[in-house]
Amino acid sequence: MTMRALLLNHSATMGGAEFCLMDVATSLRDSASVLLLEDGVFRRRLEAAGVDVRVVDGGAIHQVRRDSVAPSAAALAGLWRVTREVAEIAADFDVVHANSQKALIVGSLAMVRARKPLVWHLHDIIDPPRFSRLNIKADVVLANRCVERVLAVSRATADAFVRQGGDPAKVHVVYNGIDPAAIDAFAPSSEQLRREIGLDGVPVIGCFSRLAEWKGQHVLIEAVGGLPGVHLLLVGGALFGEQAHEQSLRDLVKARGLMSRVHFLGQRDDVSALMQCVDLIVHPSTAPEPFARTLIESMLAGRPPIASACGGVPELIESGRTGYLFPPGDVAALRAILQRLLASPDEVARVAVAAREHARRHFSLPAFVDAVTAHLHDAATSRTSGRARRRAQEASA
Ligand code: GLC
C-alpha cells in the first residue's frame, strides 16, 4: 500500500521553505495532499501543478511572530479550533509533515488527537535573538515529545536544534535539492533581458533574496557604493511584512547617491534568467543562514556565489573552488572580492564550472525528494510497528 502523506505549512507566501515543499508535493502528488493555514499564491501554484490542496484558516495564529514573547488569547483560541480541524483531516493519512514552526505547533497538538506520526522539516536556525526564548522552548519540547524525526536543512541547523535542547537522536540532515532543468530553461532569454533593463556593457552584480534586515542587502549596497561604474540589481520583495526595511534600503541608496546604479526589481518569476545576465551574485546575510537555495541556484546558473560565511553556507561553498566566502557584515572584505573578481573573468569562469558540477552532484532534486520520502515512510512504518510490538507485548503479558 502506498503511504499517504499530509504536508502541512502555515504560510501561503512563497519563501524558501515553500519552494522546497512545492518540489516534495509535486513529486508525491499521487499520494500526498498539502494543507495550508491560509489562502494565497502557494495554493494556486500547487493546484496548477496538479497537487491536492486544502486550506484551514489559521486566523489569529498568524499574528504570533518568531520573536513573540507570549501568544494572545485570540491566538490560543484560534490554535484550539485549527488543531481540531487539522486532526480531522489527518485521519485519512499515514504520516504528517510539518514544514514550518507554526506547522509544528499545530501539527503536534493535532497529532495528540489524530495519533499519526509527525515529521518536522526544520528550515530555521532556532537561536536567539532571532527567535524568542518562548518560541525556541515550544519548538524543542514539541519536537522532543511529539515528533518522530526532525529533518534539518543543514548541519548548522541541526546543531542549533541540539544546542537548544533538541533530541540529537531525532535529527537528520537533508540538504535541499534544486532542479537544473528549471534554470537551464531560461538561458536563451538572458542576453535580451540585459538589454531590456538597460545594463548592456556595464558590470552588474545581483542579489536574489527577499528584502529583510538579516539578508544583508545594506552591506552589499555599501560595498558597491565604493566601486565606481558598477551596477547592482536587488531582486526580491519584502515578503513577510518587512516594508519598513525596504524603505530603509531605498533611503540608504539615496543617501549614498546611488540611485542610478542600484536597481530594485522586486519579486520576479524570471530569477534564473536574471541570474544569468549579471556578472557576479552575492548573498550577504548578516545572521546565520540555514541553507540559502539561492546559492545553489547561482551555481546552476553558472555564477559562483559570493556569500557571507555563516550558518549552513560554508557547508555549501568551498571558498575559492565553488564560490567565495567573506565575513558577515564586512563591507571592505566584500568590496575587495568584488573588485578582484570583476577584473578576473577567467578565474570566475573556472570556478563557475566547478560550482555547477558541485551543485548538480551534491544538491540534486531527486536525491532530496527521495530522502524526504524515505524519512516519511520510515516514520510512518516505525510508528506502526512500534504500536504493533506494544500490542503484542500487552497481549502476551
Ligand atoms: C528558509 C531558510 C533558508 C532556506 C529555506 C529552504 O527560508 O531561511 O536559508 O534556504 O528555508 O530550506
CB 302 within 8 A of CB 352: yes
Closest C-alpha among 293, 263, 259, 291 to residue 277: 263
Q: How big is the CA angle at 222 (ends 242 and 251), to the nearest 5 degrees?
A: 45
Measuring CA to CA, which residue among 40, 67, 66 is closest to residue 53?
40
Query: Rounded to an integer, what distance in angstroms lies between the CA atom of residue 295 and that of residue 314?
Result: 11
User: For residues 123 and 109, what is the distance between their CA atoms, to the nearest angstrom?
Assistant: 20
The answer, yes or no, to whether any atom of ligand 1 lies below 6 A from the CB of 293, is: yes
Cα–Cα distance measured from residue 394 to residue 397, given in angstroms and rounded to the nearest whole number: 5
> Is the Cβ atom of 99 under 6 angstroms away from ligand 1?
no
Q: Is 9 in the pocket of ligand 1 (CB under 6 A)?
A: no
Q: 16 in ligand 1 pocket by Cβ < 6 Å?
A: yes
pLDDT at site 269: 86
User: Which residues of the chain have a pLDDT value below 50?
Assistant: none
Report the C-alpha gap between 229 and 203 in whole angstroms: 7
Determine the atom of ligand 1 nearest the C-alpha atom of 289: 9
Strand ranges across the sheet with 52-55: 52-55, 32-36, 5-9, 95-98, 118-122, 149-152, 171-173
Q: Measured in whole angstroms, how far is the alpha carbon of residue 24 from the centre of its chain?
A: 13
What does the pLDDT read at residue 193? 75
Q: What span, in angstroms and rounded, lies between the C-alpha atoms of 263 and 341?
A: 21
pTM: 0.92
| CA-based torsion, 365, 371, 376, 377: positive or negative | positive
HSE of 200 in the Cβ direction (CA atoms, 13 Å)? 6
Predicted pLDDT at 61: 73
pLDDT value for 186? 64
Contact (Cβ atoms closer than 8 angstroms) between residue 182 and residue 214? no
pLDDT at 391: 63
Candidate of 100, 291, 296 to mutate for ligand 1, largest count of ligand atoms within 8 Å of Cβ = 291
**What is the 3-state secondary structure of 194-241?**
HHHCCCCCCCEEEEECCCCHHHCHHHHHHHHHCCCCCEEEEECCCCCC
**Helix spans in the chain (H):** 16-27, 41-48, 73-90, 101-114, 133-146, 155-163, 180-184, 190-196, 217-225, 243-255, 271-276, 293-300, 313-316, 331-342, 345-362, 365-396
Take atom 5 of ligand 1 and give the residue whose Cα is closest.
16
Q: Tens digit of pLDDT for each residue in 207-241? A: 999 999 999 999 999 999 999 999 999 999 998 77
Beta sheet of 231-235, edge-to-edge order = 262-266, 231-235, 204-208, 280-283, 305-308, 324-326
Name residue 263's beta-bridge partners: 233
Q: For 144, which DSSP code?
A: H
pLDDT score, position 109: 95
CB of 20 sitting under 6 A from ligand 1: yes
C-beta neighbour count of 168 within 10 angstroms: 10
